[in-house]
């Protein structure tokens, strides 16, 4: 388990992480989201003892990372897949890590097989593609068979088959009762993988909830209605304080009311319905709403010209 209490990191006058309180529990995949500069990588580095907190604490299984007697047997992490000497082969790299951490060298062949690198284990890491490097980094994280796993952008550079493999891997690790903490910018993949979502914005906690709750909280969620009496039905729904849009003469988009409530109003009005369905938000839509005021870099299209990227201070 990972526990953060009042975790804060400042660099001069810039606060990268601001009073973060969070528990990352075992038995589920916790997705870690936030715009660039939100403090995700800094938080992970503090958990692993790579950065010292300005205030607060980051504990793994109840103690700071530096106090763990056998760190790799308790915490496995992939923060930078390129952090491997390029002249070492994949097998030699993993054997060196195993020996330096009191892990049986036989474990090396097991993790190479798990990540699909057995056939190229004799090649130098510097010759690996980005995707192969990611697999080697994941192998290193798994080497000590730890109960806590942290992955920063684990599908970066992987092809579709590799992305699916990572998804299945992290879910299987969580199903074994491990704590799995995954940072990613790929909303579609996180929607398929995560059970719990933690969202940061400007170093502060914006959301910590099951993924279903995060999506359900989006204003994009709506009820779609198609009826030849759409205009009359829209007036009745608006009178009940629902928000109604009418994209066409026979179509309504209703927010602020459930599908059951819309159906009841239609029934009481005797309106003929061609369609009554929920229009659910995607995780990407819900995420964009949550972080709208926390984005440090935005793009704006200029009339007749290319996009301009500018820094905003909202």
Residues of the chain with pLDDT under 70: 295-314
Contact indicator for 29, 177 with CB cutoff of 8 Å: no
Query: Within a domain: residue 243?
Result: yes
What pLDDT does 308 receive?
A: 42
Residue 295 lies in a domain: no
The pTM score is: 0.81
Contacts 24+ apart (CB under 8 A), 207-210: 207/290, 208/22
Instruction: Check residue 296 and give its pLDDT.
Output: 62
pLDDT at 256: 85
For the chain, the 3-state helix, strand and coil shares in percent, each to the nearest 5, are: 35, 30, 35
pLDDT given at position 241: 84
| Pair (81, 165) in one structural domain | yes
| 257 and 127 together in one domain | no
Question: The tokens of 257 are what?
Answer: 């009311």
Q: Can you tell me the distance from the alpha carbon of 48 to that of 79, in angstroms, rounded to the nearest whole number? A: 10
β-strands 75-78, 148-152: how paired? parallel
> What is the pLDDT at residue 199?
96
Q: How far is CA 119 from CA 52, 131, 165, in A?
A: 40, 15, 17
- Does any domain span residue 302? no
- 88, 124 contact by CB (below 8 A): yes
The reply to whether 298 falls in a domain is no
Do residues 88 and 207 both lie within one domain? Answer: yes
Residues 140 and 175 in one domain: yes
Query: What is the total count of domains within the chain?
Result: 2
Predicted pLDDT at 297:
55
pLDDT of residue 28: 97
Dihedral sign computed on CA atoms, order 191, 192, 195, 200: negative
Kindly state the tokens that stand for 69. 């007697």
Range of the domain at 261: 222-279
Dig out the tokens for 92 from the structure.
């030699």
Q: Are 211 and 226 found together in one domain?
A: no
> Does 9 map to a domain?
yes
pLDDT of residue 94: 97
Q: What is the DSSP string of 59-92?
A: EETTB-GGG-SSHHHHEEEES-TT-S-TTSBHHH
> Does 203 share its domain with 230?
no
* The pLDDT of residue 310: 40
């Amino acid at each position: 388990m990972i526990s953060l209490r009042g975790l804060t990191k400042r660099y001069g006058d810039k606060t990268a992480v601001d009073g973060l309180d969070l528990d990352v529990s075992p038995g589920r995949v916790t997705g870690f989201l936030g715009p660039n500069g939100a403090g995700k990588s800094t938080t992970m580095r503090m958990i692993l003892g790579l950065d010292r907190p300005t205030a607060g604490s980051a504990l793994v299984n109840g103690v700071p990372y530096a106090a763990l007697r056998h760190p790799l047997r308790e915490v496995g992490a992939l923060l930078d897949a390129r952090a491997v000497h390029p002249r070492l082969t994949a097998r030699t790299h993993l054997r060196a890590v195993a020996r330096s951490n009191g892990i049986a060298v036989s474990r090396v062949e097991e993790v190479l097989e798990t990540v699909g690198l057995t056939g190229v284990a004799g090649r130098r890491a510097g010759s690996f593609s980005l995707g192969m490097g990611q697999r080697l980094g994941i192998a290193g994280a798994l080497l000590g068979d730890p109960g806590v796993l942290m992955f920063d952008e684990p599908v970066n550079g992987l092809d579709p088959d590799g992305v699916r493999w990572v998804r299945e891997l992290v879910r299987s690790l969580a199903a074994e009762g491990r704590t799995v903490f995954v940072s990613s910018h790929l909303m579609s993949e996180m929607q398929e993988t995560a059970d719990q979502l933690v969202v940061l914005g400007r170093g502060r906690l914006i959301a910590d909830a099951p993924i279903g709750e995060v999506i359900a909280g989006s204003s994009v969620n709506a009820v779609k209605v198609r009826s030849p009496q759409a205009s009359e039905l829209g007036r009745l729904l608006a009178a009940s304080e629902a928000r109604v849009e009418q994209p066409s003469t026979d179509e309504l988009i209703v927010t602020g009311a459930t599908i059951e409530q819309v159906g009841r109003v239609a029934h009481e009005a005797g309106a003929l319905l061609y369609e009554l369905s929920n229009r659910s938000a995607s995780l990407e839509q819900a995420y964009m709403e949550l972080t709208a005021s926390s984005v440090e870099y935005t793009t704006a299209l200029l009339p007749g010209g290319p996009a301009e990227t500018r820094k905003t201070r909202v």
